[in-house]
Structure 1
Amino acid sequence: MVFLTNEGASSSSSTRRWKYDVFLSFRGEDTRAGFTTYLHKALEQQGINTFMDDKLPRGEEISTELLKTIEESMVLVIVFSKNYAESKWCLDELVKIVECREDDQMVLLRPIFYNVEPREVRNQLGNFGIALANHEKEFKDNMGKMQRWREALSKAASVSGSHYEEGCTTYKSEYDFIQGIVKEISSAIFNQRPLYDASYLVGVNSCVEAIKSLLDIESNEVRMLGIHGLPGVGKTTIANVVYSIIAHHFEGSCFLEKVREKSPNGSIIQLQEKLFSKILRDSYLKVDRESEGTNLIKERICCRKVLLVLDDVDNSEQIEKLLGKCNWFASGSRVIITTRDIQVLTTLPRNHLIYKVEELSPCEARALFNMHAFHTNEPKEDYSKLIEQIISYANGLPLALKVMGSDLCGKSIHKWRSALEIYWYWKAY
């Protein structure tokens, strides 16, 4: 399955905010009761925000509201079925879709040929030719509209897409075909989204690459990795970046933040429920007791290839309640645990992996502080001595550098000196 790429897209476009991940264009009479509804449900189950225009009233002309929805969608999926071209509404949608793709290279075009040959759509043959011939009788005084429809069909069908023919042996079933589409779209959306602001991540890339190597997502074995280090050294940030980069390779993924903070007073149940919500896409599943939640994890999640991150764990009991015996997960699953205390990781299987996050070097610390204090790595010269004192105080801890840099940003040198005296005072005590 090959889809259109986005070569030439500008980097500034990557910050664009989309209302919908996917817009589905389809002929309702052909596929609403089957294929398109199943595709819509499969996309939504993967957390892909999908617009399916099954509720808007149909009129002679496409509504302004629907045109705006197309403009606000990242991936434009066209389900070409046998009677697609019979609908003037669908053809108007298609014209808008092609225009959006031509106007914005960040928009992704995804044609699906469902029980039709791509050449039939591209060259307006068969049912497509008959439908357009009938439209020409109605629009003989508006051949410009006909030309736009024909060009849109030709352009959209010239994009390499996915083709399903009933009875074809390429796919085991329509279900497998849909899962393949969902996987491709999920990957495409992931590659489009700005996952983090790389300009403010100093000293992270080498850690991320080392962790990715340890996790080796191509391997089918279950791997568990503990990330440990001092408070404020960047464990959570690094785990977040790794999670963002590899999450789309798994059937389900969940990042449980601040486990240590949320565990007291029965809050572990809320973490278990979040796990079910993210992995199973079931926000209605409720847990009464922690032991019940642990058993449900074994029963409902063990058959899936998952990525789990338990962030800021401070005792082995939390791991047991959220991971059970640690041997319940399907082949290819990955578990990442961040902690200040390496002893917490002793509850993991003997072959678990360990990665220690080291403090930043003076050069890296200076770059990170400057980014937050000055939004550049070239600060004013008269601040240089104060900067060195602050870097010495922070001792290579990214969190301290970020907090102090943000706090001092835009302030006078006098206020910097006053703040520095306070920093040293608190460090002394």
Structure 2
Amino acid sequence: MTFEFQGPSSSSNTHQWTYDVFLSFRGTDTRNNFTGHLYNALHKRGINTFIDDELRRGEEISPALLKAIEGSRISILILSKNYASSSWCLDELLKILECKETKEQMVLPVFFKVDPSDVEHQTNCFGKAFDKLGDKVKDDVKMLRWKAALIDVSNFTGGWHFSKGNESELIQEIVQRVSLIVNRTYLNVAKYPVGIEPLVHEVNSLLSIGRNDIRMVGILGINGIGKTTIAKAIYNSIAYQFDGSCFLANIGETSKQESGLVRLQETLLSEILRDTRILQVGSVDRGISVIKHRLCSKRILLILDDVDKLVQLETLAGNCDWFGLGSRIIITTREEALLANHGVDLIYQVRGMGHNEALQLFSWNAFKTEKPFENYDELTERAIRYARGLPLVLTNLGSELYGRSIVQWKSALDKCEASRKRKRKVRKKS
């Protein structure tokens, strides 16, 4: 999932989808077995799934099918040995990848009795089917587009490779994953998510979701720099790829309350195990034991937000072996020493906003547009200098100044700057 900001209402989770799932498959390979069984399992779970039940005639993909792809939240690609022999299937693939980029749809590939490397390089039986289609189509440009699409999808994470075994177990796993995606609640990231997308990509590269290790990553930065906002956006973009997920907010504040750490442990267990009941652990020590016992074989995503004491980490994620292979633990904090003491694998230092991003974020809050109003340019620059690249300050100050006159702007900025000077003097004296 991406977070490209187009304006106030850019969030993908507000999109009204016609279908939950679109199934793309080669009918002669899997219609009457794997795909048919998968469709029935999804339907029984109440997941609104599109399957093309008609025999395909002609070379052009139908407008109705294009519309179904555009209206689906998730596309499942069942890449079987003859998938690449069909121009219809490959045109579906092109449309699905287009919608992935333009509509933030999710794509889950199933390499069904074919190796992902054969899809990537068009080799063995998969490659023979593709070459046979090329002899028939005789269109080099189209073949190159299809080839690029196959290379692209072969490198997707979060899919399945099935060569032999129990198909019903695979179907059950797919249905479970789709259910999590369809039914999950998205965290509210930001009203104006300016500049979030590249930061999410940078942290995701540290997480390396495709690897089967267990990894702790710290997001480090001062107050107001956007640590929690980045963590929420990451959670929304990758949570569906795990057996269970939990975002524990305001840990530093919550742990100060009576039985705060115990309640955090109970919330962690309830959310990851998807148990609506409050799991009573009684004490911190027992909570540690239950977490290790119940989660040691689960691939989980755990975000620990605003940690300020080592004991909080030792209580909630004491060691990597508490969780199953492939798990990712993300910690947001202001304390670099805390991350070092806990042996966090990698640390991402959040940087302040550059001028252009700061201008855009402030403008959306102060003017409800991406640029300042006429005659407000100089005052806007004062506000941006005062904020020093901190998204929280840009947001709060912009919201406070929204709808005010130039005289009121000058007065408010004078007070902000004077307050900062007084605080500096106090710090110097102390």
TM > 0.5? yes
Aligned with 1:380 (options 364, 373, 379): 373
Report the Cα distance in structure 1 between the residues aligned to 2:17 and 2:69, rounded to whole angstroms.
13
| 1:235–1:338 CA contact under 8 A, matched in 2 | yes
The 1:418–1:214 alpha-carbon spacing in structure 2 relative to 1, beyond 3 Å, is: same
Aligned with 1:240 (options 232, 251, 256): 232
1:276-315 superposed matches below 5 A: 276-284=269-277, 285-315=279-309
Aligned with 1:250 (options 229, 242, 253): 242
Report the Cα distance in structure 2 between the residues aligned to 1:313 and 1:422, rounded to whole angstroms.
32
Kindly state the Cα deviation for residue 309 of structure 1 after the two structures are TM-superposed: 0.6
Equivalent position SS for 2:361: helix
The answer on 1:322 being equivalent to 2:316 is yes
Kindly state the Cα deviation for residue 400 of structure 1 after the two structures are TM-superposed: 0.5
Kindly state the Cα deviation for residue 340 of structure 1 after the two structures are TM-superposed: 0.7
Report the Cα distance in structure 1 between the residues aligned to 2:396 and 2:234, rounded to whole angstroms.
23
2:354 paired residue number? 361
Report the Cα distance in structure 2 between the residues aligned to 1:13 and 1:291, rounded to whole angstroms.
41
Aligned with 2:174 (options 174, 180, 188): 180
1:87-102 superposed matches below 5 A: none
Aligned with 1:344 (options 338, 341, 363): 338
Q: Which amino acid counterpart does residue 379 of structure 2 have in structure 1?
A: L
Equivalent position SS for 1:405: helix
After superposition, the C-alpha distances for 1:238-259 in whole angstroms (9 at most, x for unaligned) are 1111121111111111111110
| 1:314–1:339 CA contact under 8 A, matched in 2 | yes
Alignment coverage as a number of residue pairs:
310
Q: Which amino acid counterpart does residue 236 of structure 1 have in structure 2?
A: T
Q: Which amino acid counterpart does residue 314 of structure 1 have in structure 2?
A: D
Q: Unmatched 5+ residue regions in structure 2? A: 1-9, 22-36, 54-63, 77-108, 113-162, 424-430
Kindly state the Cα deviation for residue 107 of structure 1 after the two structures are TM-superposed: 4.6
Report the Cα distance in structure 1 between the residues aligned to 2:206 and 2:73, rounded to whole angstroms.
33
1:15 paired residue number? 14
2:399 paired residue number? 406
1:21-420 superposed matches below 5 A: 75-76=48-49, 105-107=70-72, 171-172=165-166, 174-184=168-178, 186=180, 189=182, 200-264=192-256, 265-284=258-277, 285-349=279-343, 352-420=345-413
Report the Cα distance in structure 2 between the residues aligned to 1:51 and 1:180, rounded to whole angstroms.
12
| 2:50–2:68 CA contact under 8 A, matched in 1 | no
The 1:12–1:389 alpha-carbon spacing in structure 2 relative to 1, beyond 3 Å, is: closer
Aligned-residue sequence identity (percent) comes to 39
Kindly state the Cα deviation for residue 102 of structure 1 after the two structures are TM-superposed: 6.6
Kindly state the Cα deviation for residue 325 of structure 1 after the two structures are TM-superposed: 3.0
1:142 paired residue number? none
Report the Cα distance in structure 1 between the residues aligned to 2:41 and 2:259, rounded to whole angstroms.
38
Report the Cα distance in structure 2 between the residues aligned to 1:230 and 1:304, rounded to whole angstroms.
33
Report the Cα distance in structure 2 between the residues aligned to 1:161 and 1:304, rounded to whole angstroms.
21
Report the Cα distance in structure 2 between the residues aligned to 1:421 and 1:400, rounded to whole angstroms.
15
Report the Cα distance in structure 2 between the residues aligned to 1:301 and 1:12, rounded to whole angstroms.
32
The 1:317–1:193 alpha-carbon spacing in structure 2 relative to 1, beyond 3 Å, is: closer
| 2:69–2:75 CA contact under 8 A, matched in 1 | no
State the Cα RMSD in Å.
4.2
The 1:387–1:306 alpha-carbon spacing in structure 2 relative to 1, beyond 3 Å, is: same
Report the Cα distance in structure 2 between the residues aligned to 1:162 and 1:185, rounded to whole angstroms.
20
| 2:251–2:305 CA contact under 8 A, matched in 1 | yes
Equivalent position SS for 1:255: strand
Q: Which range is displaced more, 311-320 or 213-222?
A: 213-222
Q: State the structure with more CA Rg.
A: 1
After superposition, the C-alpha distances for 1:17-70 in whole angstroms (9 at most, x for unaligned) are 689979xxxxxxxxxxxx99x968xx9xxxxxx975xxxxxxxxxxxxxxxxxx
The 1:161–1:219 alpha-carbon spacing in structure 2 relative to 1, beyond 3 Å, is: closer
Q: Unmatched 5+ residue regions in structure 1? A: 1-10, 23-34, 44-49, 53-72, 81-98, 112-159, 164-168
Report the Cα distance in structure 2 between the residues aligned to 1:242 and 1:368, rounded to whole angstroms.
20
Report the Cα distance in structure 2 between the residues aligned to 1:14 and 1:384, rounded to whole angstroms.
34
| 2:206–2:346 CA contact under 8 A, matched in 1 | yes
The 1:258–1:409 alpha-carbon spacing in structure 2 relative to 1, beyond 3 Å, is: same
Equivalent position SS for 1:327: helix
Q: State the TM-score, normalizing by the size of structure 2.
A: 0.61
| 1:326–1:348 CA contact under 8 A, matched in 2 | no
| 2:180–2:240 CA contact under 8 A, matched in 1 | yes
The 1:298–1:76 alpha-carbon spacing in structure 2 relative to 1, beyond 3 Å, is: same
The 1:345–1:397 alpha-carbon spacing in structure 2 relative to 1, beyond 3 Å, is: same
Q: Which amino acid counterpart does residue 417 of structure 2 have in structure 1?
A: W
Report the Cα distance in structure 2 between the residues aligned to 1:203 and 1:39, rounded to whole angstroms.
40
Report the Cα distance in structure 2 between the residues aligned to 1:213 and 1:110, rounded to whole angstroms.
24
Kindly state the Cα deviation for residue 198 of structure 1 after the two structures are TM-superposed: 8.0
